[in-house]
A and B are shown apart, each in its own frame.
Chain A
Amino acid sequence: MEEYSSGDDGNFNSDEISILVKECIEGVIGGTDYNQNKINQWTASIVEHSLTHLVKLGRPFKYIVNCSVMQKSGAGLHTANSCYWDTTTDGSCTVRWENRTMYCVVSVFAVAM
């Protein structure tokens, strides 16, 4: 059992990150409608808050946080991600959120240092 490593330090914990990101999204755009004037500020806030919270976890990872917000108007949208990394230590997590007027997709990629 000496090889067993806890999920916390060396490996990416997708569930925990998912909850953290959802809270960041709710905190910034929860309860608002799509607003062309504010959208720039909102997406920047979401990525900054998410990154700040991730770094505070104090884990040995480099992070990339990507946020897309799209107005609901019937347009088709497709996103794909592909990663070339160490599958034992690195990981990603994508959170999809929507309300009446917009979709928000946030992807977090964590690469072990």
Chain B
Amino acid sequence: MDDYLTDEQTVFDVEDVNKIIKDTLETVIGENSYKHSRVNQWSTNVVEQCLLRLSKLGKPYKYIVNCFIMQKNGAGQQTATSCFWDNSSDGSCMVKWEKDSMYVQVSVFGLAI
């Protein structure tokens, strides 16, 4: 049993990450409406705070956090992602958040070290 690794260490926990992203979005953007002058600051804060909280989980993972904010004005938009990694240990979590004036999408990718 020397090789046994606990599940908590090497499995990407989608629920935990989901919760972290949602909390961060509520804290940074909350009930605000889309404002061009503040969007830059919001997207930066969202990715930085998510990353900080993810690193505090203390798991042996590298993380990539992506935040996408788009004003609602009828434009069409499509996103696609593809990954080349180890399916047993790596994972991702995507949170879509819709408000009256904007769409926000945050993706977190975790890759086991």
Are B63 and A84 in contact, with the CB atoms below 8 A?
Answer: yes
In the complex the two chains form, what is the Cα distance from A47 to B80 in whole Å? 7
Are A76 and B71 in contact, with the CB atoms below 8 A?
Answer: yes
A20 within 8 A of B: no
In the complex the two chains form, what is the Cα distance from A39 to B63 in whole Å? 28
B17 within 8 A of A: no
A69 within 8 A of B: yes
The contact size tier of chain B is: 35 or more
Are A82 and B51 in contact, with the CB atoms below 8 A?
Answer: yes
The contact size tier of chain A is: 35 or more
Chain A nearest CB, measured from B77 CB (Å): 4
Are B82 and A48 in contact, with the CB atoms below 8 A?
Answer: yes
- A64, A69, A74: most-surrounded residue (chain B CB, <10 A): A64
Q: Which residue of the partner chain A has the closest CB to B84?
A: A63
Q: Which residue of the partner chain A has the closest CB to B61?
A: A84
In the complex the two chains form, what is the Cα distance from A82 to B66 in whole Å? 7
Interface string of A66-96 (1 = CB under 8 A from B): 1111111111111111111110001010000
Listed in ascending order, the chain B residues whose CB lies under 8 Å from chain A are: 34, 36, 39-40, 42-44, 46-48, 50-51, 54-55, 62-86, 90, 107, 109, 111
